[in-house]
Amino acid sequence: MTTSRLQSELKKRNPFDSLEQEATLSLVRTSDQLENRFGRLFREHGLTSSQYNVLRILRGEGAPLPSLEIASRLLRVAPAITGLINRLEDQGLVKRRRCEQDGRVVFVEITKQGLAVLGGLDEPLMALHRGVMSGLKKAEQRQLVALLEKCRQSPELLRDP
């Protein structure tokens, strides 16, 4: 039996127990490498991946959003959305205001400074996206997107833990 590339990268002596295990671990390994590379870029601009994500959501919406709505749109679950927004506010990248009709609702708005930080990230981020996908043709990229969407629809992932 031939040794897979992942098996070699992990210096794993024995083959994986199943193709499903190898596919899942390969996805986790790839995700980790992407997170590290993107995280490095965000850190160069004084942000974490989650902070960038909040700013991206707010810029894309073009209007203030309730903090819980922001939390529901994040790429990765952030259990402490309040702390995340606190840190962005401390940096002057967002501002908050309470809803006048319902004081429990807090609206978050991106500031001009937040927009400037995102603007400085736009081109380096697009270049990074192009770079990490440069080994795949456009048709393969579309296929990858479709396969990952299909994985996210598996009953195991849709089930509440």
- DSSP for 143-155, written as a single string: HHHHHHHHHHTSH
- Sign of the CA dihedral 73, 157, 136, 5? positive
Confidence of residue 8 (pLDDT cuts 50, 70, 90): confident
CA 121/CA 161 separation, integer angstroms: 35
pLDDT for 74 equals 92
pLDDT for 3 equals 74
Q: Which helix (H) or strand (E) element contains residue 34? A: helix 19-44
Is the model's pLDDT at 86 over the cut of 90?
yes
Per-residue pLDDT reduced to its tens digit, 127-153: 999 999 999 999 999 999 999 999 989
pLDDT for 1 equals 58
- Sign of the CA dihedral 131, 132, 133, 136? positive
Spatial CA neighbour of 30 closest among 151, 132, 156: 132
Q: Give the residue-averaged pLDDT of 57-80.
A: 91
Is the model's pLDDT at 5 over the cut of 80?
yes
Is the model's pLDDT at 156 over the cut of 90?
no
Q: Kindly list the structural domains of the chain, giving each domain's residue range(s) and its CATH number in brackets, ordered by start.
A: 39-123 (1.10.10.10)
Name the pTM for this structure.
0.87
DSSP letter (8 states) at residue 2: P
pLDDT for 113 equals 98
Q: What percent of the chain has pLDDT over 70?
A: 98
Helix (H, G, I), strand (E, B) or coil at 66: strand
Q: Give the residue-averaged pLDDT of 74-82.
A: 85
